[in-house]
Structure 1
């Protein structure tokens, strides 16, 4: 393993350890000492990568944003029924939240506006929902008289609410929760010719893996956070 590889692995370990601390204890109570200990590195190694706790939190948010953006882009760029792709992408986001502490912590930090930073981590998700429903309208997939912007507001409110509730009980992210949501919504918003064709539980196989976690080296390189890392 090269020094560059070790430096990147140390950074990834610190980001994940920080996410675990932020999720469990919140930003204020999490300490740099606990973060470095959780990553199995010294305090000096932590400060080599991050100037302070705010910088660590920003790195967690950046990693979470990349993971969410990847899933949103997959939904927007797919083929087939736009409404079904919207259903599928909500299930993928839920699976990602279940599987990845970095994404959960990033959303929590963002909602709490940690360290005074101004960021909108959910913007990509809102745009994804807006675009898929606009596409559904163009393709005649929405029932007559169903306005895409109002449907979008309902979907966003419901999915955001599920994410917030899941901070205390991950059961909210289980497949049945979203399936119940779509079983209620789809008969109200889908065109009649789609009746019975849409799958509220999503089209991904049961137990399908989510995309690679947000703290993969490729994502760090994409965001520029790995660029210029000194050899260590």
Structure 2
């Protein structure tokens, strides 16, 4: 049991170290050597848990996907109105991106791996937002003239901006303010 705990702690330390390295340098410039130095572990320890940098990137992207799914479930719970869930999800995602380097790096990895295509996590967020907007249309709370694709595009643009800003230290308060101002301007245009 102690050996298993130690292995779990090492793996978590490696994932966190990889997140810091990727947050600082990007996926392309991240190396196993930099990750092992950041974690304070040997390269052999890193390779024990992860076959290569790609496996580390998979772990970060998976952590970010898990966090996004948990956030979506939390914000849509208790039969909240769809538009309320959308506002809360984007606000909480922004806070999460500004405070959690593993989640932030997971989103960065998703963007870096997209190679000109749409990042996997952005696809996941898009599907979730489209679903909420369609729910709002069905329940009559979304104005009939609203083009859901345009709303999702605007939200994604703000989310990418938040992702970039969140890499700067001490931006949580600023990011919350940006999201609040965005929703004060956007929400009246959406409500029926």
The TM-score with structure 2 as length reference comes to 0.86
Per-residue Cα deviation, 1:160-211 (whole angstroms, up to 9, x for no partner): 33323444576386211000000110111112xxxxxxxxxxxxxxxxxxxx
Please give the residue correspondences for 1:195-210 in structure 2 after superposition, counting only pairs within 5 Å.
none
**1:178 corresponding residue in structure 2:** 179
Match of 1:10 in 2: 10
Q: Alignment length, in residue pairs?
A: 190
Point out where structure 1 has 5 or more consecutive residues left out of the alignment. 192-232
Tell me how far apart the structure 2 counterparts of residues 114 and 83 of structure 1 sit (CA, whole Å). Answer: 29
Alpha-carbon deviations, 1:49-97, whole Å to 9, x = none? 1122222222222222211221123334441321111111111101110
TM-aligned CA distance change 1:109 to 1:95, over 3 Å:
same
Q: Which residue of 2 aligns with 1:188?
A: 189
- The change in CA–CA distance for 1:150 and 1:114 in structure 2 (over 3 A counts) is closer
Residue 86 of structure 2 contacts residue 129 of structure 2 at CA under 8 Å; is this kept in 1? yes
CA contact (8 A) 1:13 1:39 kept: yes
Offset, 1:147: 3.0
Distance in 2 (CA, whole Å) between partners of 1:143 and 1:160 is 26
Q: Distance in 1 between matches of 2:42 and 2:158?
A: 42
Q: Which residue of 2 aligns with 1:206?
A: none
Structure with the bigger percentage of helix? 2
Q: Give the 5 Å matches for 1:62-141.
A: 62-113=62-113, 120-141=120-141
Query: Counterpart in 2 of 1:157?
Result: 157
- TM-score (norm. length: structure 1): 0.73
In 1, the alpha carbon distance for the partners of 2:111 and 2:60 equals 13
Greater relative contact order structure (CA < 8 Å, 6+ sep) = 1
| Deviation of the 1:7 alpha carbon | 0.8
